Copies of this chain bind each other. A is one copy, B any other.
Amino acid sequence: MNSGAIGIFDSGIGGLTVAAAVRQLLPNESTIYIGDTARVPYGPKSPETVRRYAREILDWLLHQDVKAIVVACNTVSAHALDDLRTRSPVPVIGVIKPGARAAAHATTTNTVGVIGTAGTIASGAYRIALQRINPAMRVVEQACPLFVPLVEEGWLDHEATRFVAEEYLRPMRNHGIDVLVLGCTHYPMLKPLLREVMGPEVQLIDSAEATAGELARVLNELGLVAPARSAVTQRWVATDDPARFAKVGAVFMSGSPAPVELAELGKLDA
């Protein structure tokens, strides 16, 4: 038993879908969410830069005495997870392996679609993880760089979003996929629309939910689960402009995660 908090970090606000899934599955756990809003997005940045930023956030979270860390960011999970694990005294959980495992479990045709930002798709991280589970897995990948700005615009069920989704996903439907991995933390916000576009025969895998499940497994295995009666706290932290974080965050959390703190940027020179 351990009543310490779970640290959850993302380049921005997208990881709030992961925080929401954690809160849903593990309501006794305290959480500290930090979004590096001063330097978002990480997607177009070089792997070296992403690793440097991730190390800075790791240090910050370790100073808050967290008992486990969830990397709620596909780009960081793709480029920096091994690096973070060698540096961290507490377990570090990424979003990619849990998503890949859930997809591999769900597919019956061994043909899985993966959508994500340009950076995540270029890294091939989901394809590699899926084919490590099953070398015969066929993986159909598609970068969807417009989905993040569409979600942040709040156009979750908008005709333009449907148009963009059709354009991105039409080719995937011809490949016989029966599972589609939402390989970006923003995409669960588009689930109803994506379900319509893909049709009922394609199962959507929400990495956020899969990651929360993996966190539960790890906490349990290491004896780190919070006692049932411990006081639950939630902290929300941004590295720039907490007001904007609260505003856009409200789209994700169905209600504002206020008050949002500004991180002590001592080392985080953003």
Contact = CB atoms under 8 A, between A and B. Distances in A.
A240 interface: yes
Contacts of A45: 37-38, 240-241
Contacts of A146: 146, 149-150, 153, 160
B241 A44 contact: yes
A170 interface: no
Contacts of A160: 146, 160, 163-164, 167
A269 interface: yes
A186 to B, nearest CB: 12
Contacts of A38: 45, 49
A221 interface: no
Nearest to A155: B146
Contacts of A150: 146
B241 A46 contact: yes
A235 to B, nearest CB: 20
Contacts of A217: none
Contact of A39 (B39, B148, B153): B39
Contacts of A37: 44-45
A152 interface: yes
A240 B149 contact: no
Interface string A15-46: 00000000000000000000001111000111
Contacts of A163: 159-160, 163
A228 interface: no
A232 interface: no
A133 B163 CA distance: 41
A145 interface: yes
A97 to B, nearest CB: 26
Contacts of A159: 163, 167
A1 interface: no
Interface in A41-82: 44-46, 49
30 contacts: A37-B44, A37-B45, A38-B45, A38-B49, A39-B270, A40-B44, A44-B241, A44-B244, A45-B240, A45-B241, A46-B240, A49-B240, A49-B241, A49-B270, A145-B149, A145-B152, A145-B153, A146-B146, A146-B149, A146-B150, A146-B153, A146-B160, A148-B149, A158-B167, A159-B163, A159-B167, A160-B163, A160-B164, A163-B163, A269-B269
